Structure 1
């Protein structure tokens, strides 16, 4: 496939294939129609032949070339698959576009320290799992690390100790670098409420701090999660972090919804196990 794509990457060769798609032609005819010299045309045809795109028919003193449809059809199918994959993941492109728009908007107003102080965000999800399962996904480091970062970030360390004064840590990385946030838990009521702060550390200093308030209540079919977030202590360098909150947390909570759903499918409660017994 790579050889076919490379052979068709030259404008002159592409024109030759277009001409051969109409009917088989001689080297001289192709050279005349493509506006090339015959030696050039011959070299292009040799490249196309090595890629399996054309076949030569020696007819006495003439050499007539014909295009092969199968390799082009295979390339067409592969391009169709790529186009389908792009369409299927169009949402990821939209996320990047929204993030860029947020960065541009915040950059226009981030002309002083504490420019975003007091900015608030609110998120809500109804999760298909009971409150104790959702709580574990917030407070068990292994479960927390399975969802607490949007793609393509990877969590390297995360802790939310569910007690007043407990540690709050979120470290993650991507191909460009590593990122660190730390803070403290202020309040924790099992399976009901978790309040904590996290400060983004950039170049050894706090770029901004987020105060988080997570509440869990019963909902039909599962748990209603409400997440409130208030920003304080912002510096001018906090633009990419503040701008990413809206799209980032939307992705992260989608991750959480998937994680608790998968957990429920693979881990039955004692009541569910008893009900399943004959």
Structure 2
């Protein structure tokens, strides 16, 4: 039997029925005659026969017709392929750990907010695979910035940004059908330093907190960036948004790194 002939969904649907699952467990030790299966499960033989027929049709067992005897055994090749398929689904994924970390971060933020602590500073530093001019352009050229300014599984829907002091900023990121909007304004731009406010807003357009971003780009052939984010005035319902800042910006800087490596 080739792997294409194993219908995993059919196998799972078939063995999910309680009596059939018990039959699978029984046959895992050794082959059993149909009568033995009925006796072991305390069921009538006609009922067991129907279950065996369903399992055989799904390729889970084989029934050997030996004269007047019928002996059922597992088709272990089928089960091995199903196990391999499920094992593939169970492979560790970096998003699993990220979600666990994010959930714990939300709990920490909720505790801090409950204690009245609504001010904090986050710092990020990276050495990037490009010169300072290219890195500065990646931040301040809206067409280029829109290409990397999204965490994993998000896309940029709107990127309104002008590298001019006093200019407003509006960024809308999408995850599937959901959209997340952030607004702010540019405070300072030039000489390798970009200062801007940017924070997520609720459906009414009100900010969930205040966040002042201070970016400094230094170096020559290989640029170094330092980003400080000062957070304040955090609303009680903003713990998930605040907790998402660190992993979100780590992913943004990863995206920036990848962008610089692949874009002329």
On whether the aligned pair clears a TM of 0.5, the verdict is yes
Which digits, 9 at most, give the CA deviation of each residue in 1:47-93, with x for residues without a partner? 11111122223333332223222211211221222233xx2x1x322
| Partner SS, residue 202 of structure 1 | coil
Is the deviation greater in 74-83 or in 207-216? Answer: 74-83
Q: Is the 8 A contact 2:141 2:163 kept in 1?
A: no
In structure 2, relative to structure 1, the CA distance for the partners of 1:67 and 1:107 (3 Å cut) is: same
Give 1:175 deviation, angstroms.
Answer: 4.1
| Partner SS, residue 201 of structure 2 | strand
Q: Which residue of 2 aligns with 1:229?
A: 229
Which digits, 9 at most, give the CA deviation of each residue in 1:225-278, with x for residues without a partner? 100111133222222211211222122211211221222xxx2xxxxxxxxxxx
Distance between the aligned counterparts of 2:249 and 2:22, measured in 1? 50
Q: Which residue of 2 aligns with 1:240?
A: 240
Which digits, 9 at most, give the CA deviation of each residue in 1:201-228, with x for residues without a partner? 2132222121111111116x62111001
In structure 2, relative to structure 1, the CA distance for the partners of 1:21 and 1:212 (3 Å cut) is: same
Q: Is the 8 A contact 1:115 1:236 kept in 2?
A: no
Give 1:122 deviation, angstroms.
Answer: 0.4
**TM-score, normalising length from structure 2?**
0.87
Is the deviation greater in 224-233 or in 32-41? Answer: 32-41
**TM-score, normalising length from structure 1?**
0.83
Q: Which residue of 2 aligns with 1:67?
A: 74
Is the deviation greater in 50-59 or in 124-133? Answer: 50-59
Distance between the aligned counterparts of 1:209 and 1:131, measured in 2? 28
Distance between the aligned counterparts of 2:53 and 2:248, measured in 1? 52
User: Pairwise CA RMSD of aligned residues?
Assistant: 2.3
| Partner SS, residue 207 of structure 2 | strand
Q: Is the 8 A contact 2:132 2:223 kept in 1?
A: yes
Q: Is the 8 A contact 1:138 1:160 kept in 2?
A: no
Structure 1: 5+ residue stretches without partners: 268-278
Q: Which residue of 1 aligns with 2:98?
A: 95
Distance between the aligned counterparts of 2:235 and 2:31, measured in 1? 68
Tell me, yes or no, if structure 1 residue 155 matches structure 2 residue 162: no
Tell me, yes or no, if structure 1 residue 36 matches structure 2 residue 39: no
Pairwise mapping of residues 252-271 of structure 1 onto structure 2 (< 5 A)? 252-263=252-263, 267=264
Tell me, yes or no, if structure 1 residue 194 matches structure 2 residue 194: yes
| Partner SS, residue 45 of structure 1 | helix
